[in-house]
A = this chain, B = another copy of it.
Amino acid sequence: MVRVVVLGQGYVASIFALGVERIKKGDLGYYGIPLADELPVKVEDIEIVGSYDVDETKVGVTVYDVVKRYWDNGVPESLRNITIRRGVHLNSLKSMPIKANGLEEKMKLSNCVDKLVDEWKSEKAEVIINVCTTERIKTFSSRDDIEKAIESDDREKLSAAQFYTYAASVYASENNGAVFVNAIPTPIANDPAFVSLAQDSKLVIFGDDGATGATPLTADILAHLGQRNRYVRSIAQFNIGGNMDFLALTDSGRNKSKEVTKSSIVRDILGYETPHYIKPTGFLEPLGDKKFVAMHIEYINFNGAIDEIVVNARINDSPSLAGLLVDLVRLGKIALKRGEWGTVYEVNAFYMKSPGPANSHNMPRILAYEALRKWAGLPAVSKGGTV
């Protein structure tokens, strides 16, 4: 079994919970879960034991009730067993049309840590998933600064993701290990201060920013061109959608953090800088969770020929990430058993847009996949051929 706590009961967390329960009931296959049934830890072993949010309409109700808002085609009864608790806010929903209140309004941050650690202990949590709304970027320079911010109750310095990571490290150190999966852009696996803290606290961190949607596809298309030595002249990539995350990204501070993780792939994969425009472009409510992506790539081929590739896609955002979480939770359990404290590049390189640790880079996901399998103890799958 893997005991999972979810931070942020939004669309992604809801589809994650829904899909896992449907699989347990035999209603759904493993599509969209990269490692499907191959891991020793099974999808059916996943147990969601806790859920946190700060949205006043969610705190205190069951996961069943929240999932129902996103899915009207039958929600498994088992989700009635989890009641959503209040998490910390720290302004992460600022400017969003949501009435939000965090634990920190009633107590000091250090008390919030104690409260969460106690709850996680009582639930015997093993893996904590962070799928809160994209935040404005902030980084820490040292572990001391993190601890000082908690002690001095400095609410301006800490984002929700950072606070939760700290709490997870306290929990891990008192619990003989735990896993923190950071699926949003805030640098956690990429912040040396947090990775160092994790190593000493028996915490495994996976992160940052789940590699869904257009970015990993772009990475593989760029790798395709790079391996043929075609010179990419320009890249334009537009994204527009109608879910809360796109609304959050109309805030330019949040958008910036997304743009950074998306743009870093260009240099990492091609090995040179090329003019590009890659960022979430806008919010269009009727598109809902199924975003529209448009991408234009122009490159130079042999004898100076100029070719163009245009990609258009309609991609359901939340199921893409939820499917990856099913693997990350199970890989987390494996890392936990092995005691691989800190962060694991082989996992991050395939699943994350901005794979930690800091100063590691993006690689073509198709290669990252092989490295991941090796790490997970699975056979290579060079389908076809004799290599």
Cα of A237 to Cα of B363 in the assembled complex, Å: 28
> Residue A140 at the B interface, CB < 8 A?
no
Encode contact with B along A4-37: 1 for CB under 8 Å, 0 otherwise. Answer: 0000000000010011001000001111111110
Query: Which of B22, B31, B223, B368 is within 8 Å of A385, CB to CB?
Result: B368
* Per-residue B-contact encoding for A293-312, CB less than 8 Å = 1, 0 else: 01010101111111111111
How far, in angstroms, from A323 to B287 measured CA to CA in the complex? 24
Smallest Cβ distance from A97 to chain B, in angstroms?
Answer: 15
Taking a contact as CB atoms under 8 Å apart, the answer to whether A384 and B268 are in contact is yes
Interface assignment of A217: CB less than 8 Å from any CB of chain B: yes
Is B275 a contact partner of A284 (Cβ separation < 8 A)? yes
A166 within 8 A of partner (CB): no
A15-B303, A224-B217, A319-B301 given as contacts; is B236 within 8 A of A284 (CB)? yes
Are A316 and B345 in contact, with the CB atoms below 8 A? Answer: no
CB of A285 closer than 8 Å to a CB of B = yes
Partner of A367, one of B238, B277, B283, B366: B366
Q: Mark A346-386, 1 if CB is under 8 A from B, else 0.
A: 10010000010000111111111111000000000011111
Q: B308 contacts A31, CB within 8 Å?
A: no
Determine if B316 and A227 form an interchain contact, defined as CB atoms under 8 angstroms apart.
no
Minimum CB–CB distance from A144 to chain B (whole Å) comes to 27
A363 and B387 contact, CB distance less than 8 A: yes
Give A167 to B269 CA distance when docked, in angstroms.
44
Nearest-Cβ distance from residue A103 to partner chain B, whole angstroms: 31
Asked whether A307 lies within 8 Å of B314 as measured between CB atoms, the reply is yes
- A387 and B345 form a contact (CB under 8 A): yes
Given A220-B366, A229-B30, A366-B227, check contact A316 B294 (CB 8 Å): no
Q: Which of B31, B228, B370, B383 contacts A229 (CB 8 A)?
A: B31
Min C-beta distance of A318 to chain B, whole Å: 8
Bound-state Cα–Cα, A287 to B235, Å: 10
Q: Across the interface, do A234 and B287 meet the contact criterion of CB distance under 8 Å? A: yes
Residue pair B309, A313 in contact (C-beta under 8 Å)? yes
**Pair A238/B322 contact, Cβ less than 8 Å:** no
Q: With a CB–CB cut-off of 8 A, which chain B residues contact A330? A: none
By beta carbon, the residue of chain B nearest A27 is: B304
Q: How many Å lie between the Cα of A211 and that of B384 in the bound state?
A: 16
A sample of 12 cross-chain residue pairs with beta-carbon separation below 8 angstroms, ordered by A number, consists of A32-B301, A217-B224, A229-B323, A236-B292, A275-B284, A292-B296, A294-B310, A305-B320, A307-B313, A363-B387, A367-B367, A367-B370
Given contacts A31-B302, A32-B302, A302-B322, 12 further A-B contacts (CB under 8 A): A29-B231, A32-B303, A34-B228, A236-B282, A240-B296, A301-B319, A302-B326, A305-B316, A305-B320, A309-B311, A311-B312, A363-B387
